[in-house]
């Protein structure tokens, strides 16, 4: 059978665009359909605009810090509309770059929704299109809150387009999005309440960093409500009231639910193609990104595996090379570095203390200190650094940091850990002085030993 395209990618986010570009460069006839915005969540309503907003909040903090260095300036006022306009302009520029990348690679572009009619046929904006192979790269969408009064609550997609800066914000959630926006709104001058189901933010992260972040959020003036849910939200005269399980209430101008994201498969017509989904609603795939239908694949957040933009890009690149090249490029996804752009930020790679301890005896090195900047600024802010080391082999299994520049520092350490560096390799590396990063190569005193084997002894 002759098909319109060799490969059709549903979704113009980072993973889908990379897959399409590489496949086209390898000689395939490729098309991509995007119904919403080019670049996907990360570029439009995710990591890129969010980090720009984090930077805006940090400028306000830095202005306050400057007094400790002799700069005398009156407190300034923040122009929310100017920030949103500048952010929108930058996102528009990036949207255009994605289109140019695709068309420059010879990819056919559809500004339309694509849905399955059968396993090889798609409805693309009302046009019937066939493809030999199809890749699902539709990403995820914010999860709507389940409690009464959800109509009074925004989700993360809405937060990037607010017409004005709220004065009082109630945030629900304890993950990336919740703690990042808590820092953004607080840094821009809002009163912030953060309601979390867990005792500490960032479930799944290293416990030392979770506790340190909670301390930093509190020090910044954010009111934490741990081990709490939301019974409902009511509104009267534009003012929202959050009702907590213990009978308490929070008054806010803006309520923001950041309680997770779900794979975006609604209305995609997967049943028409016979594509299976997991119990959680994600597209089910194997390690090679193949679904149960031999010629249909899925990459990125729609598979709900490791939901990070660079991982989606790696999956897309590998898939294109596997299908049309000399075999896939391999990335080690067991030790992927990640960052949380909280205030201060977190960078982490490898195993947490708890994960390593479950595997065997582990040496733990922890350092806590006041960053050099804040010895003069007097702002209450700490840096925490941590190394997790296998006692038998002395390989560094994990590196974790909360503090200014943590994501930049951990990216470099990620190379060393993926290369199998040992604690001795760290110890014989000469640090750059004075920097915070040098602490990672000067931690000589073990903080504690943990692990199952130790307990057995």
CA Rg, the chain, in Å? 24
- DSSP per-residue codes, 234-289: EEETTEEEEEPTTS-EEEESEEEE---EEE--TTS-HHHHT--B-TTSPBP--TTS
SS3 352: coil
For 239, list phi and psi in degrees, rounded to 5: -100, 130
Which residue from 131, 104, 119 is spatially nearest to 8, judged by alpha carbons? Answer: 131
Contact between 113 and 35 under an 8 Å Cβ cutoff? The reply is yes
CA distance 131 to 7: 6
- Which residue reads 């040098």 in tokens? 438
Contact between 290 and 276 under an 8 Å Cβ cutoff? The reply is no
**Which 8-state DSSP code applies to residue 378?**
-
Contact between 404 and 376 under an 8 Å Cβ cutoff? The reply is no
If phi over 0 gives left and psi between -120 and 50 gives alpha, with beta otherwise, what is residue 310? alpha
Which residue from 219, 202, 208 is spatially nearest to 401, judged by alpha carbons? Answer: 208
Which candidate in 225, 243, 317, 433 is catalytic? 433
b/e string for 258-291 if b means 16 or more Cβ within 10 A? bbebbbbbeebbbeebebebeeeebbbbeeebbb
Helix or strand holding residue 172 (H, E): strand 168-172
For 107, list phi and psi in degrees, rounded to 5: -85, 140
CA distance 48 to 40: 11
Which residue from 108, 79, 315 is spatially nearest to 189, judged by alpha carbons? Answer: 79
CA distance 401 to 415: 16
Contact between 335 and 313 under an 8 Å Cβ cutoff? The reply is no
Contact between 69 and 378 under an 8 Å Cβ cutoff? The reply is no
CA distance 447 to 8: 53
- Is 225 an annotated catalytic residue? no
Residues annotated catalytic, as ranges = 433
């Amino acid at each position: 059978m002759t098909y319109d395209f060799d490969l059709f990618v549903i979704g113009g986010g980072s993973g889908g665009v990379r897959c399409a570009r590489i496949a086209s460069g390898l000689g395939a006839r490729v098309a991509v359909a995007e119904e919403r915005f080019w670049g996907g969540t990360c570029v439009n309503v995710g990591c890129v605009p969010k980090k720009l907003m984090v930077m805006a909040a940090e400028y306000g903090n830095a202005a306050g810090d400057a007094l400790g260095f002799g700069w005398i300036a009156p407190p300034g006022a923040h122009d929310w509309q100017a920030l949103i306009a500048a952010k929108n302009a930058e996102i528009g520029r990036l949207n255009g770059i994605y289109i140019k990348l695709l068309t420059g690679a010879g990819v056919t572009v559809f500004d339309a929704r694509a849905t399955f009619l059968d396993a090889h046929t798609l409805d693309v904006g009302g046009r019937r299109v066939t493809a030999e192979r199809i890749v699902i790269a539709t990403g995820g969408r914010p999860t709507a809150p389940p409690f009464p009064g959800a109509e009074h609550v925004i989700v993360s997609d809405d937060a990037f387009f607010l017409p004005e800066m709220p004065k009082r914000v109630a945030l629900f959630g304890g993950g990336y999005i919740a703690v990042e926006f808590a820092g953004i709104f607080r840094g821009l001058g809002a009163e912030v309440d953060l309601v979390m189901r867990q005792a500490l933010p960032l479930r799944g992260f290293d416990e030392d960093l979770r506790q340190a972040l909670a301390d930093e959020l509190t020090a910044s003036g954010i009111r934490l409500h741990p081990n709490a849910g939301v019974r409902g939200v009511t509104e009267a005269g534009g003012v929202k009231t959050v009702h907590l399980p213990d009978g308490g209430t929070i008054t806010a101008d803006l309520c923001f639910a950041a309680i997770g994201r779900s794979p975006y498969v609604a209305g995609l017509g997967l049943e028409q193609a016979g594509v299976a989904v997991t119990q959680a609603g994600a597209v089910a795939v194997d390690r090679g990104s193949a679904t149960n239908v031999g010629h249909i694949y899925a990459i990125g957040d729609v598979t709900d595996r490791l939901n990070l933009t660079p991982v989606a890009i790696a999956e897309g690149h590998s898939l294109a090379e596997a299908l049309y090249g000399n075999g896939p490029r391999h990335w080690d996804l067991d030790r992927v570095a990640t960052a949380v752009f909280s205030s201060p930020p977190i960078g982490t790679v490898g195993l947490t203390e708890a994960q390593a301890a479950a595997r065997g005896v582990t040496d733990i090195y922890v350092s806590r200190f006041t960053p050099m900047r804040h010895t003069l600024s007097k702002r209450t802010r700490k840096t925490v650094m941590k190394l997790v080391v296998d006692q038998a082999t002395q390989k560094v299994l994990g590196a974790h940091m909360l503090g200014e520049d943590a994501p930049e520092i951990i990216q470099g350490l990620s190379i060393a850990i993926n290369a199998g560096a040992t604690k001795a390799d760290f110890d014989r590396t000469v640090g750059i002085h004075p920097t915070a990063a040098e602490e990672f190569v000067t931690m000589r005193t073990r903080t504690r030993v943990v692990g199952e084997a130790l307990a057995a002894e």
